[in-house]
Structure 1
Amino acid sequence: MTKYAGRRAVVIGEATGIGLAIAKRLVEGGAQVVLTARTAEERRGLCAELGSTAQVVPPSGVTACLGPGGEIDLLFADSVATACQLRSSLRDGGAVVLTAPGPPSAAVQALASELVSRGIRVNAVAPGCIEAPGGGGTPLPPLGRLGAAEEVARAALFLATDATFTTGGHLPVDGGLSRP
């Protein structure tokens, strides 16, 4: 599958769970991926798991990894502040997807408004009730089960690549917990 061929993506946040699921789908689709991981042990393991089209770097190493003039097509970040730090590296027409729980904040809306003139879309996917190792005691959402990181990854990739006329959006992926 080459759905993401020719695209450069950066995934910042947890290198397990949702971030890893996003990175795996991007690599499978032919993208060049930069993923952050905090420890050297995590980075070694993720490099082996993702293969040669992925670079796994410490969170502080993303800008250096991109190099001078390095541009990003797709940015997946766990906070608006992180996305703002890399906004100058975003290619016109690119996309930012924030993976943060809760409703969209004024900061998400402000970033979407700032980048719209460059054709860059900014959306948020709000995960909730996601399976976690040893995470017992989590209340079940109306769908009656916990979600998987892969389900959130599919929603995030939809916002990044298929929702081409959507910006400032907020997509809850929480099994119905956020419904009124």
Structure 2
Amino acid sequence: MGKLEGKTAVITGGASGIGLATAKRFIADGAFVYIFGRRQEALDAALAELGPEARAVRGDTTNPDDLDHLFETIKGEKGGIDILFANAGVGEFAPLGQITADHYAHTFDINVRGTLFTVQKALPLIRKGGSIILTGSTVGVMGTPAMSVYSASKAAVRNFARSWALDLKGTGIRVNVLSPGATETQKVRELFATTGMEDEIVAGFEEKAPLGRIGDPSETAAVAAFLASDDSSYMTGGEVFVDGGIAQV
């Protein structure tokens, strides 16, 4: 029996990258998983990989009606939620002097407002003993050139967990932040490629990380499974880094 046997999990941004890897891991550990994302083609492709223990719902975390549809669907089909992985996010390069209002709004709408209302709208369905996992980032605790807006959004997510742990006192619901470093996903590769220096950026991360490489999504998924399970039953308000040590030394 897997450590998530019989659990119902929800993963936003679940059709690719860390979200998809985590969906695979949760299913392997016994959970039924709802993945939520904006692109139907990506959702369909993900479902083909995940099999019958997954269900896809199309929508945008910045759209309240889409979130309502997601949680109404889950309520009707499963009755409640045991694990919520608020993973949907976006990052773009923009150095000081080139930051636009649109860049700021886009980043904060998805990373901060989307995370907030995903959790708040899910809360009535989250069962006692449930686990909320928020996707943070190493840049939330580091200075990072050309990523100040993204970094600030992830610092906000970090404080959500601290504050919500207090708001949730007495409910039995835990909330923690999972903060990856550079990870081998299509989205990360596309971001690096916008600079024209993709290989150099990856090499820089590999040189800085004590483990000498960037991460694999399955490694982050393994830690998500830990935070989702009773193995982390005495953890709330915390942050766990999966970064090869890059933000720790």
Tell me the TM-score normalized by structure 1.
0.91
Q: Which amino acid aligns with 1:100?
A: G
The 5 Å alignment of 1:1-180 reads 2-59=2-59, 60=66, 61-68=69-76, 70-78=79-87, 80-81=115-116, 82-101=118-137, 102-103=140-141, 105-133=158-186, 134=189, 135=192, 136=198, 137-138=201-202, 139-140=205-206, 141-161=209-229, 162-180=231-249
Structure 2, gaps ≥5 residues long: 60-65, 88-110, 142-154, 193-197
- 1:26-74 superposed Cα distances (whole Å, 9 cap, x missing partner): 1122211101122221122122111111001113242132135821001
Q: Which amino acid aligns with 2:74?
A: L
Q: Which amino acid aligns with 2:19?
A: G
Q: In 2, Cα distance between the equivalents of 1:29 and 1:157?
A: 8
Structure 1, gaps ≥5 residues long: none
Structure 2 counterpart SS, 1:70: coil
- 1:103-142 superposed Cα distances (whole Å, 9 cap, x missing partner): 5632221111112311111111100111134453232222
The structure whose residues are more often strand, as a share, is 1
Q: In 2, Cα distance between the equivalents of 1:178 and 1:67?
A: 39
Contact 2:16 2:46 (C-alpha < 8 Å) held by counterparts: no
Q: How many residues are treated as equivalent by the alignment?
A: 180
Q: Please, what is the CA RMSD of the aligned residues?
A: 1.9
- Over alpha carbons, which structure has the higher Rg? 2
Q: CA deviation at 1:14?
A: 4.6
Q: In 2, Cα distance between the equivalents of 1:116 and 1:151?
A: 30
Contact 2:14 2:20 (C-alpha < 8 Å) held by counterparts: yes
Structure 2 counterpart SS, 1:116: coil
Q: Which amino acid aligns with 2:163?
A: A
Q: Which amino acid aligns with 1:85?
A: K
